[in-house]
Amino acid sequence: MNATEIKAAIRTWILDRHPNYDAGKLTDETPLIEERLLTSIQVMDLVLFLEDLTGQAVDVTRLQKGAFSTLEAIRQAFFLGASA
């Protein structure tokens, strides 16, 4: 997967959980937590989804501040090797 496909997959995952959210407003830089698109109830499920996408386990105790702040931040935190 390249970076665009990765972000599209995560974008779809988020929009599936927020059917009333205006999909046109969700950009790579939309603040996901501020906009309540990512809540504490959903965040562990997203981690599992990212583990499926990357094929690697995520050590949540090593995650850094801001790792889930935007679609682009997620790509950088988990898929830094993916081509843009």
Partner 1 sequence: MTATLEIPDLGWREGGQGVLRGDLLRLFRKLDTLWLRWADAAGALEIEPPPMLPAHALQRLDYFASFPHLATFACVHDEDAENLAVFGKHPWQADGSGLALGRLAPTTHVLTPAACYHVYLDLVGQDLAAPITVTLGTRCFRREKEFHPLRRQWAFHMREIVCVGTAEEVRAHLASHRTKMLELSERLELGATFEHATDPFFNPGKSARYLMQKIDPTKEELVFGGDLAIGSLNFHRDTMGAAFEIRRGGETAQTGCVAFGMERWLFALVQTHGLPGAIAAVDRELDGGDA
Please spell the DSSP secondary structure of 5-61, one letter per residue: HHHHHHHHHHHHH-TTS-GGG--TT--TTTTTSS-HHHHHHHHHHHHHHHTS---GG
65 makes contact with partner 1 (CB under 8 A): yes
> Does the protein bind partner 1 through residue 61 (CB under 8 A)?
yes
Segment near partner 1 (CB under 8 A); pick from 1-9, 10-18, 22-30, 56-64: 56-64
Told to check if 1 binds partner 1 by CB under 8 A, we report: no
Interaction of residue 15 with partner 1, rule CB under 8 A: no
**Cβ contacts of residue 43 below 8 Å, gap of 6+?**
68
Residues that bind partner 1 (CB under 8 A): 33, 36, 40-41, 43-44, 47, 59-61, 63-69
